[in-house]
């Protein structure tokens, strides 16, 4: 009888021991998972140095979970009270800007201005500022009054709408801030690339190819009209000495603007030019031999912009100029994001917007080669 009770007690203890060990193992695994998630989050590089508390709160509370308390609400328009979204922290906005500059060719060349309001205006003198020379004590005669033209780049709302599953957002190993910033920047760059080159100015920037153009020289053309140099052949370079037209294009740009000037064309046009040779058989195009340095043509950097048109009759397929002086991009300081978990369940969309404007600001600093 005693022996039976002892056996029963031993079996009960074994069962208790097994259950206890299993429970401890489960708790240990959960603890290890939490520690691993914390290590991954801690080791993830911040977007711009140490991640601020505002950025961490924005990512963990709003992007991952949709918690809106404590965030600053922004309106989509400057003249409306409609709810538009939340301003992203500076760290996330910084990576959007860096990525845009790297993959949006014209943005990387142009003069980019940050503005706090929806509108941007710039005064440009059309005849230079009158000046003169006098002695230290000499009288200062009257000078002429400069003529100013106001440049008001047309603007539009740039938007992107990337999506992620809630399962991805719940995963601590998923770097949601870098993913979102890169998705937004990639979509913005695609839309910008077209607008800065050939945008029509209606709810979007006015591209430099959409600006008026004429064959007349600087000082004769109206302000805002770009000068074109014809190739003398419809849809082609001339049959003899085709590179001479590139030299003409370069020398038409005044010397002060040639410092910092670049060629802009698409890859198809560049493929044609890469075959041009000098009389001694050397190629005019010089590929870069140093990482991070651009290839050159006639000593000037070449930038590929796929939104430039292919060579065709009457096309403006090559631009040469100082875009820092010639094209201005004005944009609002902050990108706004609205989290939308309802429209396309089970995915969560992040509707991002930014107001951007752009226009030629100095029509003497950009020249166009016309295939006509």
User: Per-10-residue mean pLDDT for the chain, 372 residues long?
Assistant: 55 59 68 53 41 64 73 44 59 82 90 79 66 73 65 88 89 85 90 94 96 95 95 95 96 96 98 93 90 91 96 98 96 85 90 93 97 97
DSSP state of 210: G
> For the chain, where do the domains classified as CATH 3.30.2320 start and end?
216-325+366-370
Do residues 169 and 177 make contact, with C-beta atoms less than 8 angstroms apart?
no
| DSSP symbols for 284-348 | SEE---STTPPPEETTEEEEE-TTSPPS-TT-EEEEEE-HHHHEEEEEES--EEEEESSTTTTEE
Q: 53-127+145-203+329-360 has which CATH code?
A: 3.30.2400
> For the chain, where do the domains classified as CATH 3.30.2400 start and end?
53-127+145-203+329-360
Domain 216-325+366-370 class in CATH: alpha beta
Residue 176 CA to residue 178 CA, distance in Å, equals 6
Residue 327 CA to residue 108 CA, distance in Å, equals 11
The pLDDT assigned to 62 comes to 77
The pLDDT assigned to 233 comes to 95
User: What are the angstrom distances between the C-alpha of 235 and each of 51, 258, 277?
Assistant: 53, 27, 20
The pLDDT assigned to 37 comes to 47
Torsion angles phi and psi, residue 319, rounded to 5: -115, 145
What is this structure's pTM?
Answer: 0.75
């Amino acid at each position: 009888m005693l022996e039976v009770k002892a056996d029963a007690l031993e079996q009960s203890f074994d069962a208790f021991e097994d259950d206890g060990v299993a429970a401890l193992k489960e708790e240990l695994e959960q603890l290890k998972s939490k520690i691993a998630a914390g290590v991954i989050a801690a080791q993830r590089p911040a977007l711009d140095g140490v991640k601020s508390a505002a950025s961490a709160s924005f990512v963990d509370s709003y992007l991952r979970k949709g918690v809106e308390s404590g965030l600053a609400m922004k309106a989509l328009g400057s003249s409306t009270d409609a709810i538009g979204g939340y301003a992203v922290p500076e760290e996330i906005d910084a990576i959007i800007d860096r990525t845009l500059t790297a993959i949006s060719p014209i943005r990387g060349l142009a003069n980019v201005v940050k503005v706090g309001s929806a509108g941007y205006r710039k005064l440009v003198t059309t005849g230079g500022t009158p000046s003169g020379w006098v002695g230290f004590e000499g009288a200062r005669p009257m000078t002429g009054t400069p003529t100013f033209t106001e440049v008001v780049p047309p603007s539009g709302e740039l938007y992107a709408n990337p999506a992620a599953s809630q399962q991805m957002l719940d995963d601590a190993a998923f770097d949601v801030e870098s993913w979102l910033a890169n998705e937004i920047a990639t979509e913005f760059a695609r839309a910008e690339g077209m607008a800065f080159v050939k945008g029509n100015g209606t709810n979007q920037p006015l591209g430099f190819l959409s600006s008026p153009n004429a064959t007349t020289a600087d000082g004769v053309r109206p302000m805002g009209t770009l000068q074109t140099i014809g190739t003398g052949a419809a849809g082609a370079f001339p049959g003899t000495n085709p590179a001479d037209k590139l030299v003409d294009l370069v020398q038409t740009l005044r010397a002060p603007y040639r410092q910092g000037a670049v060629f802009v064309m698409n890859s198809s046009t560049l493929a044609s030019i890469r075959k041009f040779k000098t009389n001694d058989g050397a190629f005019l195009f010089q590929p870069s031999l140093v990482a991070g340095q651009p290839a050159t043509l006639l000593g000037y950097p070449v930038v590929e912009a796929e939104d430039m048109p292919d060579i065709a009759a009457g096309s403006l397929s090559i631009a040469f100029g100082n875009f820092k002086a010639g094209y201005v991009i004005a944009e609002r300081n902050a990108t706004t994001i609205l989290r939308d978990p309802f429209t396309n369940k089970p995915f969560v969309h992040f509707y991002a917007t930014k107001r951007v404007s752009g226009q030629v600001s100095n029509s003497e600093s950009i020249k166009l080669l016309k295939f006509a």
